[in-house]
Structure 1
Amino acid sequence: MKRQYNDTKVCLKDMQVSLTMELSYPLESESNVFYESGLSKVMKRTNTVIYCPSNEKDSVAGIQKVEIVGSLAAVESARLLIRDYVPIGFVTSCRSDRVDSLGTHLLVAHFSSTFGVKMVFKLVEEDSSYQVNIRGHQYRFALLREAVYHFCHIVQTPSESVEMDLGSSSLHVSLVRNCTQLIEKKSGARICCPADGNSVLVRGSLETAYFASEIIAGVTPLHLKFQGPSSVEMNERIRSISRQMDISVSIDKTDSGIDELNFSTCEWNTRYLYELWRLRLGLQLSFSILPTQRYLWSDLAELPNSFFRKVNSTIFGPQREELALEGHRTSCDEILNLRRI
């Protein structure tokens, strides 16, 4: 029999939350490796239910969302595991004659067996070069980094200039624009957010580009949904606190005396997101969830509170000019020399 919520006691055993996160790269699904192996392992290890809600607009833009359902502690464990499985891809350019002398098929097989990475070659006929996408996963980044350096060495191309194309929702792009200068200052990479696209383009050395991509992941929108006992007084208190925590709050009342709550913030702010959940349910400090954050996200503490303002705005226009690396205005593809693969 389902237990009833009340203001003085909440049974965590009976509670579930739903956490929706955005991924800059779609999870690998060409051979169903992730869905049949990785995703099922995450669900089994964390005792959660995970699925990818369909969204026609986001699908067209190449953005994938993942919804995790379970207890908050289990959901947090699943979030960390999923982040480890999200692909990371670097694009580099090299002369076509050097690649052809080695053979693209042999290179793909060698790097797959040696480093566990995927490679995609795209021939650019106008300048006789290849755009090469080398892709791995977060939990094996050391091997991916070694693969990129090794490839640049054998085809004799500089490794100081690689590119990344991170798929983003309109809200995420707007949040990145808000802290572009901070990201560039901390990472040393260059950032461009095309006004007419759903992506963030990064250029720099392998290390600086990765550094920037990690910070960009930190400002990814995160949405937490759960139910709680209806309380007008508590809801007003939570709305006041949420502004200080840079969290957007929406509440829908139901006829059964239960409130449906939706808390939204940036992923680097997960700690406050979970703390606001605890406060809303009136739980003791022993129920606090302290998420494991990536060390690079500590730099985002310098950001002014921006999520609350952004998520409640209906217009997500650029806040600054696009950055021209050559010192002049041009298209974003020309700015970062990035061709999608």
Structure 2
Amino acid sequence: MDKRSSVTLDSTQIENGKFTLEGPLASPRELNLMIPVEGITYYARVMADKSAMEVKLDTAGYERKMNNYVSLVPEVTGSAFNKEYGSYEALIKPFVDKLSAISESYNELNGKYATALKEKDEATADKYKVRLEKLKQDMDPFREQIDSVTDRYIKKNLNNVSAYLMSMKVVGYGLEKTMAWYDRMPPEIQNGFYGTSVKNQLDKLKKASTGAKAALFAATDINGEELKLADYRGQYVLLDFWASWCVPCRKGNPHLLKVYEKYHDKGFDIISVSDDDIGVWKHVLRGMKVDRSEGFKILGDGISKGYDIHYLPTKILIDPNGIIIGRYDSEEEPLDAKLKEVFGE
């Protein structure tokens, strides 16, 4: 999870409707069975452990289909990890079902929205866009309920399933919360596949959190001028990682402008890191390097790597000595409170 990549572990042939895979598994982990048949790829997630497992799949009883990919619901026996994960899934199922129903409506409407844009029917596209935003808002309460159930589950159990769930939420949970739960985990969980992933992510996050020395970088800004973070020593700097497609980012820009105008003359500056320009403070590209020769492979995250950026917006506040003193998301109040503390108003 910390490398955000997948690895092919093994393959086998299906003969007479049956297949066998075997080999060592150091600790419980999620495995995905991928079955290509006549241009369609069936896939199923299995939460595997060291036990002998039996997995039954029915291609006629798929969960969902998207393009040429079909998600199957496996019937699994023999894995304690899979059974425990099933207990967690049962807790969130009522909210997942409601979320899925809205998501289907969203995807259907989004297809119509894309068609309207393609046909340059702006009036219809605008109507669809308003309805899409409403559907997004309708999904938020169910996402929040899922997050709440997940938090309670992790806090209560601290098992392999909890480690698996935490491995996908480290940045969202933040350093303090994640470390508090990680430190309470038994050693065998900490040293397992997902416990190790959480630890690796924590180590990276520590280097980009409050108290750490800000990673220096140099880049060319949108005006073609060289920009070095080291040149900003002696003043407070807010690194704003954002993008034009990020709705919370764009909603927050007017407030960020007010913050800039209020504190700029007192020794405060903003450096935005993205691929877009709002034309007031300094703005640079993050410098992501991509290899498109075989799909889409990220070779380097550029500036973002030094600050462990996984979602947008993320704002990093740096003091005059180059030390990170705050890490913020789209919520405006925590950043406002910190700037008020720093500048005394």
TM-score (norm 1): 0.24
